Amino acid sequence: MPEKKDILLVYTDGGSRGNPGPAAIGVLIGDKSYSQAIGQATNNVAEYRAVIFALQKIKQLLGKEKLKKTEVIVHLDSELVYSQLCGKYKILEPELQPLFIAVWNLKLDFAKLSFKKISRQDNKAADRLVNLALDQETKDNALF
């Protein structure tokens, strides 16, 4: 009888105010949430950085053995990033190529990893985390 795999649902979002502009990521991994400002970036760079952060954090949280037994589903609302990660779109922007490669290399550590395109409406929690980080960054910079 095959071993039962756990399923881990992940939601990622990245955003920038201006394109490029101040940027941040928001990530939900199961019941844990993370948000952080990432400096100046485009929206697409922020979306990729959110996926990379999520995959790195999952590896940390689960460890090698549990990672082998866990199906990970990453939900994202970026049409471009989703389509590039699924091989539907070419990566034409030079700044996105190393980010794509980083995701591709991280994928090798996962037994079962898939990406699911969802609507912005269904990604509100991750989007809220992005905005929290951006608001905090704006507030922190206003103090100087």
pLDDT in tens, 14-47: 999 999 999 999 999 999 999 999 999 999 999 9
Q: Rounded to the nearest 5 degrees, what angle is found at the Cα of 17, between the Cα atoms of 128 and 19?
A: 130
The encoded tokens of residue 121 equal 């409406």
CA distance 125 to 137: 19
pLDDT (0 to 100) of residue 98: 98
Report, as ranges of residue numbers, the positions in the chain whose pLDDT lies below 50: 1-2
pLDDT at 137: 82
Q: Determine the pLDDT at residue 5.
A: 74
- Please give the pLDDT value at position 3: 55
User: DSSP letters along the chain, please?
Assistant: -PPPPEEEEEEEEEEESSSSEEEEEEEEETTEEEEEEEEEE-HHHHHHHHHHHHHHHHHHHHHHHHHHTEEEEEEE--HHHHHHHTTSS---STTTHHHHHHHHHHHTT-SEEEEEE--SGGGHHHHHHHHHHHHHHHHHHHT-
Architecture of domain 6-142: 2-Layer Sandwich (3.30)
